[in-house]
Structure 1
Amino acid sequence: MTLPRYAYLGPAGTFTEAALRVMAPEGTAEHLPMVDVPSALGAVRSGEADYAVVAIENSVEGGVTATLDTLAEGEPLVILGEVVLSISFELVARPGTRIEDVARVSAHSHGLNQCRRWIAENLPGALQVPASSNAAAAVALADGSAEFDAALAPPGIGESLGLEVLVSGVSDRASSMTRFVRIGRPGELPEPTGADKTTLVVHLPSDRSGALLQMLEQFSARGVNLSRIESRPRGDRPGEYSFSMDAMGHVAEARVAEALIGLKRTCPVVLFLGSYPAFHGEVTPVEPETTDESFAEATAWVAALRDGRA
């Protein structure tokens, strides 16, 4: 039996691989490490991989722009599930290195941003060197190709590479979390659970007063809560922005479907990026007037009016 192929931000030992192992336990998937997020998503689009696991949001920096922008452009992809992991780092270096010797420190740009205050306080004046991933920075130290003195790495990888752990539990916030998503090609959607998210990218109809409010009213009028909304610049229209958002609900629910119909009528571009179970598993509260039954009753009433039966 052929195992499903999962692309992820490599090399082995990244936080993304840890998320992959939660979504697809040991022995249930073939792992395909990639150099960056666009390559991982591109592998799904090309058919090289069946799925990709990528970070989409963290509690310190917000949305992961490489993921948001790559999903918003090109052949359609959808989110099929998510997992949230606690994130902290180890400061690792070659044996014999002291923390006061560290003049240059490396990690993925998001890792550096998640530890910027810690770096300022504990490595004052150290030059920050971005790496393709946190694990890649540690590997470069171990194989001697690094042009830096230390790396912020996922727990355990430094020791496995023969590096020395100078400091454990590095993070600006003890509660730092990152949300990872499983990406696939469009097809049959996960069944609604009552605790779901729907992810969208929407372009406003025009750059005018009230355009954003009109878009948001499509959700509020149907009782759909947005748990995340952030703007991204449109590369083809300088000075204009699209909006990436998570709505609490599933497209199979009438209230969410009606909101999407409203968006489709009023916005020039609406990209559906999937309806899938939310990691927290908390059932979304639904007001009585926005239940499926309420929408069905209202639709039946209008049909009766049209047929002269009311």
Structure 2
Amino acid sequence: MSSQSRPRPRYAYLGPTGTFTEAALRQVVSPEEAQYLPQVDVVSAIEAVRTGAADRAVVAIESSVEGGVTAVLDTLASGSALTIQREVLVPVSFTLVARAGTDLGAVGRISAHPHAWAQCRRWLAANLPGVVHVPATSNTAPAALLAGPDEGLPFDAALVPPPAVDHYGLHVLAGHVADNERAVTRFVVVGPPGDQPARTGADKTTLMVHLPSNQAGALLEMLEQFATRGVNLSRIESRPIGDALGRYSFSIDAEGHLEDERVAEALMGLHRVCPHVRFMGSYPRVDAPAGQVRPGTHDADFLAARRWVQDLRTGAAH
């Protein structure tokens, strides 16, 4: 089949047009090379891959301000297995917009995605004390509503990404309203299970792990599987399992690749002591350089130790 007749891959993402997720998707593949499938929320984007309606999904997984995106972490941790294949970073900033003719002093209700609201709290408290938050499903959903017919919207203004201003033809009330000018969001490309991206030497492995028990020392026992193999954790967050109070799983980003001996040994240790371990992918990392590999935990060290034990079993070494 020629490249011209081959169907374009389908990518589900949080829409509508102009979201930070679309900006992340454009870093992965252009709209000329793929079919963009906007979704109403991140769960729908992930489920589109599970049902076969999309080949891949691009979803936000971590904010430098708010931490993990719990809806994404929980959806990937349950249901049929999917794997993370790539990550990208998108700088995040916000503009306060409204319909033409609206003054800042007349704003009493602002529509915003919860993460956008969280990243603008201090500015809002200083400039619009007492303003009411109207939650939105995405960062550009309220922009699309403001650009539509005036049908008595339940809000006066919205917090949106700067590119949405021109796209939807909105009136700017205030720019640069985010509290942290260096805020970024990490997005991941999610697809069906299969071959992992090749090891690069600066990789990340994402897991969801249940504790081996609810007794004292259970968390330490789980963490020791990484520490004793020299595997550094760049992120660890607890999430409720949901079947009873006090029972938690842990969403983990570990430095390294499944093909690294230290990471493989850590996964085997987790498999031995923890009741549930979900592997969510090994992929190149982009957020920071890899940490130093501790002496004695390089691939050559594990392989040499394994050969030594094998020689002991055969009598070739003492």
Does the alignment pair 1:278 with 2:285? yes
| Aligned partner of 1:39 among 44, 49, 59 | 44
Match of 1:17 among 18, 22, 28: 22
Instruction: Determine the C-alpha separation between the residues in 2 that align with 1:164 and 1:234.
Output: 44
* Cross-structure match for 1:118: 123
Q: Is the Cα–Cα contact under 8 Å of residues 196 and 278 in structure 1 kept in the other structure?
A: yes
Between stretches 288-297 and 139-148, larger displacement belongs to 139-148
TM-score normalised over the length of structure 1: 0.98
Structure 2 counterpart of 1:298: 305
Match of 1:96 in 2: 101
168, 172, 188: which one aligns with 1:161:
168
Aligned-residue offset at 1:122: 1.4
Matched residue SS, 2:258: coil
Partner of 2:266: 259
Q: Distance in 2 between matches of 1:62 and 1:203?
A: 20
Tell me the percent identity. 59
**Counterpart Cα distance in 2 of 1:257 and 1:195:** 16
* Matches of 2:255 and 2:296, distance apart in 1: 16
Match in the other structure for 1:237: 244
Q: Which consecutive segments of 4 or more residues in structure 1 shift more than 3 A?
A: none
Is the counterpart of residue 78 in structure 1 residue 80 in structure 2? no
What is the TM-score of this pair, normalised by structure 2? 0.95
Partners of 2:288 and 2:35 lie apart in 1 by: 27
Alignment partner, residue 276 of structure 2: 269
Q: Take 1:210 and 1:237, find their aligned partners in 2: how far apart are those partners?
A: 20
Would you say the 8 A contact 2:210–2:275 is kept in 1? yes
SS at match of 1:265: helix
- Alignment deviations for residues 264-308 of structure 1 (CA, whole Å, 9 cap, x no partner): 000000000000000146244212311111100000000011111
The one-letter code of the counterpart of 1:101 is: A
Residue matched to 2:68: 63
**Deviation string for 1:48-105 (max 9, x for gaps)?**
0000000000011100011001001100011000011110011010001111111000
Gaps of 5+ in 2: 1-5
Cα RMSD after superposing both structures: 1.0
The alignment covers a number of residue pairs equal to 310
Listed one character per residue, the Cα deviations across residues 124-183 of structure 1 (whole Å, up to 9, x for unaligned) are 111000001010011111213531000000112123222101111120111111100000
Give the equivalent residue in structure 1 for 2:235.
228
Q: How far apart, CA to CA, are the structure 1 residues paired with 2:85 and 2:197?
A: 7
Cα distance in 1, alignment partners of residues 246 and 305 from structure 2: 41
Alignment of 1:181-260 (within 5 A): 181-260=188-267
